[in-house]
Amino acid sequence: MASQDPLTTIFNIVSAIPVANIKKDNGATNASVLHIWSGGPESLKYLFYSADYDVVFTYGEPRSRSARPIQDVPLHYNMEYPITVSTVDKPLTGVLLCTSSRMQYKATYALRNIVEASAQSASGVSPAYTLRVISDDAVVRSVAGVKIWETKHTLMYEEG
């Protein structure tokens, strides 16, 4: 049986976040969540306002580095995979349906929980891996008149 590439493995783990774990501001309604690869043709404004998603997880291109850079032949490579979580304020007749900061917190909490639950591959799975969140970088930016809250979570994927 052929093994999956690490990015697909990470995508499958993170996209398995139960929808019930991310709620809208009312605490009862599940948020609509989209998982996409970076570089797609979708614009964030379209995804949030026309397609009506509340949270967008974007999977970026990985970076890798040798775990033993001094020797001629590295033992293995540590790979870093960025996942950007994007949210916007979504008003509903003067009351916020989804608050960016609250949605960011809920998405971050759900991401950390699913990574923790899947931190190591199951016994006998090839390749064996360890997965963990190594950094979170938050930024608020304005794009085409839309204030977008983004947090880039970097996951470390290590085989071996």
Measured in whole angstroms, how far is the alpha carbon of residue 91 from the centre of its chain?
24
CA distance 141 to 147: 6
Gap between the Cα atoms of 25 and 93, Å rounded: 14
| pTM, 2 dp | 0.85
Report pLDDT for 5: 82
pLDDT in tens, 14-69: 999 988 889 988 888 899 999 999 887 778 888 888 888 999 999 998 887 766 65
Q: Where are the alpha helices (DSSP H) in the chain?
A: 6-14, 44-45, 100-117
Question: What CATH number is given for 6-159 in this structure?
Answer: 3.30.70
Do the beta carbons of residue 87 and residue 96 sit within 8 Å?
no
| Alpha carbon distance, N-terminus to C-terminus of the chain | 18
For the chain, the structural domain boundaries read: 6-159
pLDDT value at residue 36: 92
pLDDT single digits (tens) 81-123: 999 999 998 876 667 778 888 899 999 999 999 999 988 887 7
